[in-house]
Amino acid sequence: METREELKQLVKTSFSGGLVAFRPCAFFDERLDCIRVIARDCSVLEERINDRVTVLIDNYYPQDGRKKYVGFTIKGAKHFCREHGWNTSRSVKMTAFLDALLASFPELVVEWFIEKVAKPLTQEENIEQVEIPEGALLTA
């Protein structure tokens, strides 16, 4: 049986490894077949805009002047990328991605979302592309 100090040291050692600070990002989540754009690491409420688009809302908005919308998710990423002829072995530019999203869903609510939420969010947070992880099987 280990002593209290030994356990304390084990916990410290386990959690002392290189923690990396959060940075805004956009990436393909292969397991859930979606593209996620996340500008802030916080507790969120997911609100559906349509059958493919979900917006992420800060649960504690407004606080300290922070923005209400902190990201979004696009379902059906494999089909979406194939539909637009994107080479899925490379990252996709965010501007091309948002333009294609609007072209695919020419609904008023999607247009509002792109112009008032997605574009400002990605520009302010300097999210320039959707990262496609090495080995992602987008061709399936």
For residue 94, being part of any structural domain is answered with yes
CA-to-CA separations, 134 to 43, 79, 96, in angstroms, rounded: 28, 18, 21
Tell whether 104 is covered by a domain.
yes
Residue at 52 is within a domain: yes
Q: Are 28 and 136 in contact (CB under 8 A)?
A: yes
Res 4: pLDDT: 76
| Separate counts of helices (H) and strands (E) for the chain | 5, 7
Give domain status of residue 138, yes or no: no
126 alpha-carbon distance from chain centroid: 13
Q: Which residue has the higher pLDDT, 131 or 88?
A: 131
The total number of structural domains in the chain stands at: 1
Structural domain includes residue 7: no
Quote the domain boundaries for residue 122: 33-130
Q: What is the mean pLDDT of residues 63-83?
A: 87
Whether residue 25 lies inside any domain: the answer is: no
User: Which pLDDT band holds residue 1 (cuts at 50, 70, 90)?
Assistant: very low
State how far the Cα of 67 lies from the Cα of 90, in Å rounded to an integer: 31
pLDDT digits (tens, 9 = 90+) for 9-45: 777 777 766 667 889 999 988 889 999 999 999 999 9
10 inside domain: no
Q: What residues contact residue 47 under an 8 Å CB cut-off, 6+ apart?
A: 54, 55, 57
